Amino acid sequence: MPVPSSPIITQSFSEQVCKWLNKMHLRYEINLETAFATHIEIRNDNGRLLSLVLVNLEDWQKSGSPDNWQLEFCDLINRRKTGEKSVLIWEDYWLTEPQVVKSRISAMLGISQKIAARLTQVRRIDQETASHFLEKNHLNASVSAKTRFGLFLPKRYFRILKSDFECDRESEELLVAVATFSAPRVFAREDGPFRSFELLRFASLLGTNISGGLDKLLMAFVREKNPDDIMTYADREWSEGAGYEKIGFERISETQPMQFYLSSEDMTRTAKSSLGAIAICNAGSIKFVKTYKLPD
């Protein structure tokens, strides 16, 4: 099957992931191999467990079907109900955004560079700055947004960064997180218009975990826009959205797994089929909403 890179990849998807885990000195074991997926359990030095479900595209083409995908999806959800962290990763994301995937896995294992949001400064940023950051640090890149905020770590706090953390140490600040928001949707109500916004994207800098980062960005947005509510979606391939619930979002509804078509030439995903495209499924999403009180 063609892949979107010039070097010939001779290792399988799971072999590439295991090679990276070895490089990171992480303990792991392959505990299950199904018709199209490999299950790997990882433990860090603190014993934190993370289960990876790796979906191999070639095997999926041979054996994938809605029925066995539903079985895989149900197993993923059941694992999470027992308190286990479990992530599902399609091979195309590993091929096209390997650094983002590795960064997110590292953050879940607690081995990323930790930065406290209280050390950062928040301010508005332009579309170009937000897009440049999200293209590098978000799995689904950037989308057009009405409002954008960034978190900046001032140079005086660069001392908290590990010696091997790569960044421009001569810069006056470091952009470590970005959140983007939609224009408001306005609903007519008896007590006046209701303004609802969507949190479109949130990402932290590769290799970092910004403790309290999203909450600080949301508070800046709320101070400026005074929304009646903010809604967003959690990708179920990665989590059940516990991070949103922790900062006051309420779980509203679920979107069931949806079918997409993957180009075998450049690994892009679209809603429409094309010649040679591979039909794949995502794991759906969860809608979250945080409601704010109207001003007196």
pLDDT confidence bin for 223, thresholds 50/70/90: very high
Which residue, among 245, 199, 250, has the nearest Cα to 220 in the 3D structure?
Answer: 199
Q: Which residue is associated with the tokens 């955004």? A: 97
Contact 203, 137 (CB under 8 A): yes
* pTM for this predicted structure: 0.91
Which pLDDT value is given to residue 9?
52
- In terms of average pLDDT, the best of 54-68, 227-241, 269-283 is 227-241
Rounded Cα gap, residues 185 and 173, in angstroms: 34
Residue 295 has pLDDT above 60, yes or no: no
Range scoring the smallest mean pLDDT among 203-212, 227-236, 276-285: 276-285
Residue 5 has pLDDT above 50, yes or no: no
Q: Are strands 37-43 and 49-55 parallel, antiparallel or unpaired?
A: antiparallel
Residue 30 has pLDDT above 60, yes or no: yes
The residue type of 277 is: A
* Cβ atoms within 10 Å of 12's Cβ, excluding its own: 15
Which pLDDT value is given to residue 44?
77
Which residue, among 220, 219, 244, 216, has the nearest Cα to 231 in the 3D structure?
Answer: 244
Helix residue spans in the chain (DSSP H): 13-23, 57-63, 66-81, 91-96, 98-109, 127-137, 213-225, 242-246
Helix H or strand E segment including 208? strand 208-211
DSSP code for 130: H
pLDDT tens across 126-146, in order? 999 999 999 999 999 999 999
Rounded Cα gap, residues 4 and 25, in angstroms: 29
* Residue, of 182 and 47, whose pLDDT is higher: 182
* Cβ atoms within 10 Å of 255's Cβ, excluding its own: 13
pLDDT confidence bin for 218, thresholds 50/70/90: very high
Region 40-60 average pLDDT: 90
- DSSP string over 48-96: -EEEEEEE-HHHHHHH--HHHHHHHHHHHHHHHHTT-EEEEEEHHHHHH
Mean pLDDT (the chain, rounded): 92
Helix H or strand E segment including 121? strand 121-124
Count how many residues are written for the chain.
296
Rounded Cα gap, residues 82 and 115, in angstroms: 29
pLDDT tens across 80-123, in order? 999 899 999 999 999 999 999 999 999 999 999 999 999 999 99
Q: What percentage of the chain reaches a pLDDT higher than 70?
A: 95
* Residue, of 64 and 90, whose pLDDT is higher: 90
Region 39-45 average pLDDT: 89
Rounded Cα gap, residues 34 and 53, in angstroms: 10
Q: DSSP 3-state assignment of 1?
A: coil
Residue 285 has pLDDT above 60, yes or no: yes
Reported as half-sphere exposure (CB side, CA atoms, 13 A), residue 3 has a value of 18
Region 207-227 average pLDDT: 97
Which residue, among 204, 277, 284, 272, has the nearest Cα to 236 in the 3D structure?
Answer: 284
Rounded Cα gap, residues 93 and 283, in angstroms: 14
DSSP code for 10: -
Q: What percentage of the chain reaches a pLDDT higher than 90?
A: 80
Residue 47 has pLDDT above 80, yes or no: no
pLDDT tens across 161-201, in order? 999 999 999 999 999 999 999 999 998 887 788 999 999 99
